[in-house]
Structure 1
Amino acid sequence: MRSKKDTNSTVLPVSETGIAAVRERCRQLVRRRAMLSAGVAAVPIPGLDVVTDLRLFAMLIDDINQEFGLSEQQIGRMQPKFRMLAYEAALGVGGMLVGKLVTREVVMQVLRRTGFKVAARQAGKLVPLAGQLASAGIGFFAFRQIGYQHVEACAKVAQELLAAGVHQPPA
């Protein structure tokens, strides 16, 4: 499921148009993964959706960072002043997952912020069929919202780096 991209080949978008194109590709990716998350949430096995969401979300964050040229490895190859600018921009837009190695613990922290939705999803599974559909719907919208927020954070960081003259990491 996860694409094995070469981190050396993906670079920062070099224009506003490039950033917009990457943003749209990533939003499509978020929607696809949210649909997958919703499909798993509809299965009446408690806990399966949470485990699946952890894996899907970690992969999603890595893929979005990669698409924007903002993975941990890509930022690490930038000149020190641009690397610092990238991390400052990420902090400034609240993108705590931009340029970070995404671990299960980090994903759990993010998902805990939407803990009430997880509880509602689990409670919904107690009511046959209607509960499963409600759980899937809540899961889709929560996953999509968190994914969209990360896409926007990455786009803002990429825009700030573009404005500062950073076009790509050194070879």
Structure 2
Amino acid sequence: MASVRQMAAGHPGITAAIQRSRRLLHRRALVAAIASTVRVPGLDWAVDAALLSRLLPQISAEFGLAPEQLDQLNPRRREQVQKAVTLVGSVVIGKVITHEIALRATRSLGLRLSTRQLAKYVPLAGQAVSATLGYATLRYLGEQHLRDCVRVVQVAELALPVPR
């Protein structure tokens, strides 16, 4: 499977949006890693859900796929984007992300998260494992969303918004 950068080859606007999104994703994943080391049951799940409910819309906005951006498109173009979203199979592009949806997304990685819960109670090494898994979990979910956004933009031939 091609990497996101390979998918965007030859399109500088998409490449720039990927770079901005990855910087944002890296910062949020670090917060998730730090939250994973705290020995409060369920805190890391709540932090992941809160981070994802803010992160996914921000990544979508980089590609012009936030709900308010899609509402500004003409009806024909909006329909093209919706078809592309359906083709890609994303359930979050163009939607308002609630904590419930974000929590469901993190629970889809159940075994990894259960391991993270258990690991944090082992002094030092367990907390390091928990932090690594916390980072990797948020990074994985963000990268999947990033890949979906790139595919939707390409399939729908959507013009990217001007960076803020």
Correspondences of 1:8-47 after superposition (within 5 Å): 16-47=11-42
Q: TM-score when scaled to structure 1?
A: 0.83
Q: Does 1:134 align with 2:126?
A: no
Which consecutive unaligned segments of at least 5 residues does structure 2 have? 1-9
Query: Of 94, 97, 102, which aligns to 2:97?
Result: 102
Which consecutive unaligned segments of at least 5 residues does structure 1 have? 1-14
Query: Of 144, 148, 167, which aligns to 2:159?
Result: 167
Q: What is the distance in 2 between the residues matched to 1:149 and 1:55?
A: 18
Partner AA of 1:167 in structure 2: A
| Corresponding residue SS for 1:95 | coil
Number of residue pairs matched by the alignment: 152
Q: CA deviation at 1:168?
A: 6.7
Correspondences of 1:48-87 after superposition (within 5 Å): 48-87=43-82
8 Å CA contact 2:13–2:160 kept in 1: the answer is no
**Structure (1/2) with the larger helix percentage:** 2
8 Å CA contact 2:45–2:103 kept in 1: the answer is no
Q: TM-score when scaled to structure 2?
A: 0.86
Q: CA deviation at 1:42?
A: 1.2
Q: What is the distance in 2 between the residues matched to 1:42 and 1:140?
A: 11
Partner residue in 2 for 1:10: none
Q: Percent identity, aligned pairs only?
A: 36
Cα distance 1:168–1:51, how it changes in 2: closer, same or farther (>3 A)?
closer
